[in-house]
Structure 1
Amino acid sequence: MSNLPLFRDPWAKREAWRKSPVFSNRVMFRNLFPGFGIAVVAFTAYVIADNVYLSTQTQDASHH
């Protein structure tokens, strides 16, 4: 006899997508805010550049 179970689920193939790693909670949470990481890096770079630019501008204005 084969080692297959006696009763097989005829819908198992059609329900397999539910167990796909694409639909895991971790992946769903990661894709909740697409582009958020890039936006944080871009905003941080903007704030640092703005602070550096303004600090050099205020130092130049105070010397005059």
Structure 2
Amino acid sequence: MAKTIKEKNQLECNKRAREKYAKEKTTSIAIRFMHNTEADLLEYLNSMPNKAGYIKSLIRADMERH
């Protein structure tokens, strides 16, 4: 079903709002894993249902130790 112009404008407006919020309130950090030397790390991380939560919990635990 084709979207009306009004629906398309609303979708674009929502997209801009999400992007603005993400830019102002969040930071993204990327990490790369070497397939041949860090496959175990990648496999373990991929087994976590909430990767971001797991990484944040590790950082918080490390902060408490130091």
Scaled to the shorter chain, the TM-score interval is: 0.3 to 0.5
User: What TM-score, normalized to structure 1?
Assistant: 0.36
Of the two, which has the highest radius of gyration? 1
- Greater relative contact order (CA < 8 Å, ≥ 6 in sequence): 2
